[in-house]
Amino acid sequence: MDFPIDGWSRPFLRDTMRLERKMARILDGTAISAAIKEEVAEEVRKLVAQGIKPGLAAVLVGNVAASQIYVRSKVQTCADLGLYSELITPPETVTTEEMLDLVRSLNDRDEIDGILIQLPLPAQVDTKALLDAVDPAKDVDGFHPVNAGRLQAGRPALAPCTPAGVIEILKRSGIPIAGQHAVVVGRSDIVGKPAAMLLLHQNATVTICHSKTRDLGAVTREADILVAAIGRPGFITAEMVKPGATIIDVGINRITDRVEFERYFAGNAKREAAFAKRGSTIVGDVHPQAFELAGAYTPVPGGVGPLTIAMLMANTVRAAKMRRGL
């Protein structure tokens, strides 16, 4: 017997998935990121011709391998696009006061337009105090309360890079936003809240959900645009998606357990080969089966992820122009 799932029957879901599978469109974040970087490089060339070279200071504390790779890729991207950059590497034992002194010195340097502090920081460093100390005009991560307030008020601001990338994916892919019901699953200050605000500014009707939302599936099934940013692997399942919806998967979750791998990628030969070679793979906050029901979706990897660095570069150039009244 086929029992209904939150008002949906299993045969209906299977049949609908089969019908929608050929229609699902992959939103290529890598290609969109490349286009944005080309535009940034052109903006940099114009500014350099005026005697202005945008500059980014990246602060990386300690020796976390993953953070080192990520930050160095940001510094390399600066070089590729013609921006000035510095990589500053305080020791793991750095104190809050030492970090505050560093931020103050970067605030005062005119050739530095953007300050990036790679998180997480060591436990002895007061992260909130440090982020609040960054000059809002140089806050290219968009984390400062002043920029959060400007974003809420719809005033010019440096928006967090990942949510800004979500909007770029939608707009550059020709996905309608105005008048659509956008459901954001996740309420973090870094992704969920600013993504909801940016969607609202694009005239979407926005619902924010989280782990305490009652009957979450009933809400997500109403979404024309579903943004998953809850930080739980495969949390959004097919039963939670309206057929034809656009799914934006912000999650990046590394899995190393074979049982967990089978839960998401059983029968996927390409993923199987990669998992066998590396002992791990990446899954988003959306179960891969849910993409079969979508009208369009961002894959993981290759979706939202590549936009983060591209939008960081765009924010650095924007900060350089805003600081000079251009």
- CA–CA gap between residue 113 and residue 135 (Å, rounded): 10
Is the separation of the CB atoms in 298 and 229 below 8 Å?
no
Angle between helices 29-49 and 65-81 (to 10 degrees): 50
Residue 137 main-chain phi, psi, to 5 deg? -70, -15
Active-site residue set: 74, 118, 141
The token pair at 87 is 């990589």
Residue 236 vs residues 17, 184, 247: alpha-carbon distances, Å: 15, 12, 10
Angle between helices 305-323 and 65-81 (to 10 degrees): 50
Report helix, strand or coil for 320: helix
Q: CB neighbours (10 Å) of residue 97?
A: 11
Residue 210 vs residues 220, 223, 232, 279, 283: alpha-carbon distances, Å: 11, 15, 11, 31, 19
- CA–CA gap between residue 251 and residue 288 (Å, rounded): 12
Of 161, 57, 72, whose CA–CA distance to 103 is shortest?
57
